[in-house]
Amino acid sequence: MGEWLKKCELLGAMSYFAAALIIDVNVRPYDIAHIFGDVEMTIDRIIALAASIGACLSAVATFLTVRQIAKQRQASYYPELALSRIAFEGSTSPIATGALPTFWTKHAADGRSEQTIQKLRVPLQNVGLGTAKAVEISWSFPIADVVARVNLLAQRTLTPAYFTYVNGCVSVKWENLGDSFSYWGNQKSASIDFVLPAAVRSEPVELILPHAYILLCSALLFFGMKGKNGESFPEIPDLRVSFECIDIGEQKHHAEFDIAFHLIAIGLEGDAMHGFLEPKKVMS
C-alpha cells in the first residue's frame, strides 16, 4: 500500500512539474526538491518524467494546431471590402447650363478622360475570401456646414448665387443661370445584393458618387478661385462611406472609409479641374 501511494505522489509531482514547464512558470530548485521530497529519482522514473513532459508538449502543440485551423476556416468565408483610388477631371456640364465644374469624369491611365455622361463612380472590391451579402451603403459629410461656407464665399466674391439645404434637398438659386436641385435624401444610402471575392470576379462594383457632394465641392472650388490672391480658397471636406454586410455564415461585418479630395490643377475661372479621390479605411 505504501509503495502504491509513493507511485501516486510521484505521478502527481511529475504532472505538476511538466505543467509548470509548459506554462513557463519559473520553477526553482527548492520547488523541485519540495515536489519530489524523498522520492528516489531512478532511471526509469526520469524516463517516465521525460515522457510525461513530452506528452504534455504534444497535447499543447495539437491544441495550437487545431486553433489555427479553426481561424483559417473562419477567414475562408470572411469578406473584406476595399475602395480604390480614382483620378478624375471636372468641367461644366455638357447637358445643362451652369458655371460650376460638376461634370466629373474618370481620368484614364493613358491620360485620356472617359467622355461619357455617366456619373463618376468609385470602384469597390471584395479582397476577402468570402462573399459579402446584403451590403448596405451609407454616405455622409457635413452638408449643412458646407452649404454655409459656399454662401459665405459667394457673398465675398459678389456672386449672385444662394444655396439652401432644406428637408434633405440642396437647392441653388443663381441669377441668369437658373435654379437647380440635388436631393441628398435619395443619395445618401444604397444597397447591393452581394459582392463576390476579387478572386472570383476581378471587375469591381462601381459606386455612384453622390451628386450633392459633387455639386458643393465644385461650388467651393469655383468661388474659391474667385477670391483675391487665393485668400478664400477653401478646404474640401472628406466624404465618409459606411458598409454593413453579412457573410455566408450570417455574421455581420462593418467597414468605414473616408474619401479625401485632392486637387491637382484648376482653371483660372474655376470651371475646370483635375484631381483624385483617395479612400482611407477608418473602421472595420
- At 180-210, the pLDDT tens digits run 899 999 999 999 999 999 988 889 999 999 9
**Residue 92 and residue 102 in contact, taking contact as beta carbons nearer than 8 Å:** yes
Bigger pLDDT: 155 vs 17: 155
Confidence of residue 216 (pLDDT cuts 50, 70, 90): very high
Higher pLDDT: 117 or 92? It is 92
pLDDT of 11 higher than 60: no
- DSSP single-letter state for residue 220: H
Q: What beta strand segments (E) does 73-218 contain?
A: 81-83, 86-91, 103-106, 121-126, 132-140, 161-166, 169-174, 178-183, 189-195, 205-208
Whether 148 has a pLDDT exceeding 50, the answer reads yes
pLDDT at 19: 47
Count the Cβ atoms, other than its own, within 10 Å of residue 157: 17
pLDDT for residue 244? 96
Q: Going by C-beta distance under 8 Å and a sequence separation of 6 or more, which residues neighbour residue 180?
A: 96, 98, 171, 172, 174, 215
- pLDDT of 112 reads 55
Q: Per-residue DSSP letters for 249-281? A: T--EEEEEEEEEEEEEEE-TTSSEEEEEEEEEE
The enclosing H or E element of 245 equals strand 239-246
Coil/strand/helix, residue 159: coil
pLDDT for 226 = 80
CA distance 180 to 188: 18
Q: Are 214 and 104 in contact (CB under 8 A)?
A: yes
Q: What pLDDT is stored for residue 107 in this prediction?
A: 74
> φ and ψ at 213, to 5 degrees?
-65, -45
Q: What is the mean pLDDT of residues 141-154?
A: 94
Q: Output the DSSP codes for 69-84.
A: HHHHHHHTT---EEE-
Return the domain boundaries, the chain: 2-75, 81-283
Q: 194 by DSSP, 3-state: which? A: strand
pLDDT tens sequence across 217-234: 999 999 888 866 555 578
Q: Which amino acid is at 14?
A: M
Contact 105, 120 (CB under 8 A): yes
For residue 282, the surrounding DSSP H or E stretch is strand 272-283
Q: Considering the entire predicted model, what is its pTM?
A: 0.72
Spell out the SS3 assignment of 165-185.
EECCEEEEEECCCEEEEEEHH
Residue 169 is predicted with a pLDDT of: 94
Residue range 48-99, pLDDT digits in tens: 767 777 777 777 777 667 666 555 555 557 899 999 999 999 998 887 777 8
* Greater model confidence, 269 or 65: 269
Q: What is the pLDDT of residue 50?
A: 72
Is residue 261 within 8 Å of 238, Cβ to Cβ? yes
The grid coordinates listed for 85 are: 483610388
> Could you tell me which residues come within 8 angstroms of residue 63 by beta carbon, excluding any fewer than 6 positions away?
none
| Sheet containing 178-183, strands listed edge to edge, beginning at the edge strand earlier in sequence | 161-166, 169-174, 178-183
Q: Check if the beta carbon of residue 45 is closer than 8 Å to that of residue 35.
A: no
pLDDT of residue 271: 85
Nearest CA to 143 out of 271, 237, 261 is that of 237
Number of H helices, E strands in the chain: 5, 13
Q: Per-residue pLDDT for 20 more than 90? A: no
